[in-house]
């Protein structure tokens, strides 16, 4: 999962998906990164940690890293958390960017459920961006967490038997 700074959305997604992968006994490698180097080496934002902890998931040991061109070779699927992130993933990859591996994170939920409102006040559409909670209060992280958790359930449902 890739977001801008790798301290809010993508570390929540990494933590939630890792937790669900473990629950299902799957042998998947789950990681996250950011397209910018603002927070390299830092733990997730304290509000990201708080909402994950409230849901029984500890993300405090995760460290922010920058997305690299090598990630195209390392991972089978790369999820962009937002449109600007999708574009930056392609830019970082340059001529080595295998964009067939890249999709919008929320498209997994969209494919499973079509257009509906998984979280109050959020309209799910194709290629929708996960709202960036960085710009709001702590309660905004709860809505983002719920959206991410539902999407991780859709990912598990889609790929667990693949």
Task: Specify the 3-state DSSP secondary structure of 112.
Answer: helix
Cβ neighbors of 47 (< 8 A, separation 6 or more) are 8, 133, 138, 141
What is d(CA 29, CA 105) in angstroms, rounded to the nearest whole number? 16
Cβ neighbors of 104 (< 8 A, separation 6 or more) are 79, 80, 81, 83, 86, 126, 127, 128, 129
From the candidates 8, 9, 71, 152, which is the catalytic residue?
9
From the candidates 3, 8, 52, 152, which is the catalytic residue?
3
> Contact at 8 Å (CB) between 130 and 3?
yes
Say whether 158 is catalytic: no
DSSP state of 66: B
Say whether 84 is catalytic: no
Say whether 87 is catalytic: no
Q: Which residue, 116, 104, 95, 86, is CA-closest to 155?
A: 104
From the candidates 31, 71, 132, 152, which is the catalytic residue?
132
Tokens of 35: 């397209």
As annotated, the active-site residues are 3, 9, 132
């Amino acid at each position: 999962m890739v977001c801008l700074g790798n301290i809010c959305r993508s570390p929540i997604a990494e933590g939630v998906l890792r937790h669900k992968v473990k629950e299902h006994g799957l042998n998947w490698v789950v990681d996250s990164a950011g397209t910018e180097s603002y927070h390299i080496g830092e733990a997730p934002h304290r509000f990201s940690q708080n909402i994950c902890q409230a849901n029984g998931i500890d993300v405090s040991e995760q460290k922010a890293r920058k997305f690299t061109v090598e990630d195209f070779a390392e991972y089978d699927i790369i999820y962009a958390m937002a449109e600007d992130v999708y574009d930056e993933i392609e830019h970082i990859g340059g001529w080595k960017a295998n964009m067939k591996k890249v999709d919008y994170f929320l498209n997994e939920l969209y494919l499973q459920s079509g257009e509906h409102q998984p979280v109050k006040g959020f309209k799910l559409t194709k290629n929708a961006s996960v709202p960036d909670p960085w710009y709001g209060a702590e309660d905004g992280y709860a809505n983002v967490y719920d959206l991410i958790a539902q999407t991780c359930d859709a990912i598990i449902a889609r790929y667990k038997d693949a």
